[in-house]
């Protein structure tokens, strides 16, 4: 194999190797943006959009609670947002996002601050994992959600 052909083959291998990495980077950015949008919607009490991040067949596993579906998750979120006696604020710390084609695993810590109740300000820290799936329109939605503390 001539030097030129070897260089072309090497360049092709590098490009093939770089394509998945670039796709993973783009997917990670899209997922970060989806989580940021969800956080902004929740914190702004946008009950009409707060469930948009979930697939209709989402399953939520929250330690010490029964398995939850879309209706249960969304009802709970909307109930919290309609509670005018308390202010609920979420923030997240994304530890990592691993992308495997059209599925991604997000390891993160959510902090929920609840203000205005008789207890004063209360913080709840939930370490968890969200499994996202790329939708037909290219968006990413949560298909499984696990909070384990």
Residues 93-138 have pLDDT tens digits of: 999 999 999 999 999 999 999 998 777 788 999 999 999 999 999 9
Q: Is it the case that residue 24 has pLDDT exceeding 90?
A: no
Per cent of the chain over pLDDT 90 is 70
Q: How far apart are CA 61 and CA 45, in angstroms?
A: 24
Q: Residue ranges per domain, the chain?
A: 3-147
Residue, of 39 and 116, whose pLDDT is higher = 39
Considering only CA atoms, which of 38, 60, 34, 59 is closest in space to residue 47?
A: 38
Q: Helical H runs in 44-140?
A: 70-82
Considering only CA atoms, which of 134, 136, 111 is closest in space to residue 28?
A: 134
Q: pTM of whole model > 0.85? A: no
Q: Residue 13 has what pLDDT?
A: 47
Domain 3-147: which CATH class? Answer: alpha beta
Strand order in the sheet with 87-100: 54-62, 140-147, 120-134, 103-117, 87-100
Q: What value does the mean pLDDT of the chain take?
A: 87
Q: Helical H runs in 44-105?
A: 70-82
Predicted confidence band at 68 (pLDDT cuts at 50, 70, 90)? very high
């Amino acid at each position: 194999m001539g030097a030129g052909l070897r260089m072309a083959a090497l360049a092709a291998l590098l490009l093939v190797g770089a394509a998945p990495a670039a796709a993973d980077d783009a997917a990670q950015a899209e997922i970060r943006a989806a989580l940021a949008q969800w956080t902004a919607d929740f914190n702004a009490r946008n009950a009409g959009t707060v469930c948009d991040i979930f697939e209709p067949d989402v399953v939520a596993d929250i330690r010490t609670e029964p398995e939850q579906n879309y209706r249960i998750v969304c009802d709970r979120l909307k109930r919290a947002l309609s509670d005018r006696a308390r202010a609920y604020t979420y923030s997240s710390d994304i530890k990592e996002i691993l992308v495997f084609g059209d599925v991604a695993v997000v390891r993160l810590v959510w902090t929920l601050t609840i203000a205005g109740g008789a207890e004063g300000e209360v913080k709840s820290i939930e370490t968890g994992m969200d499994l996202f799936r790329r939708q037909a329109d290219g968006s990413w939605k949560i298909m499984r959600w696990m909070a384990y503390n």
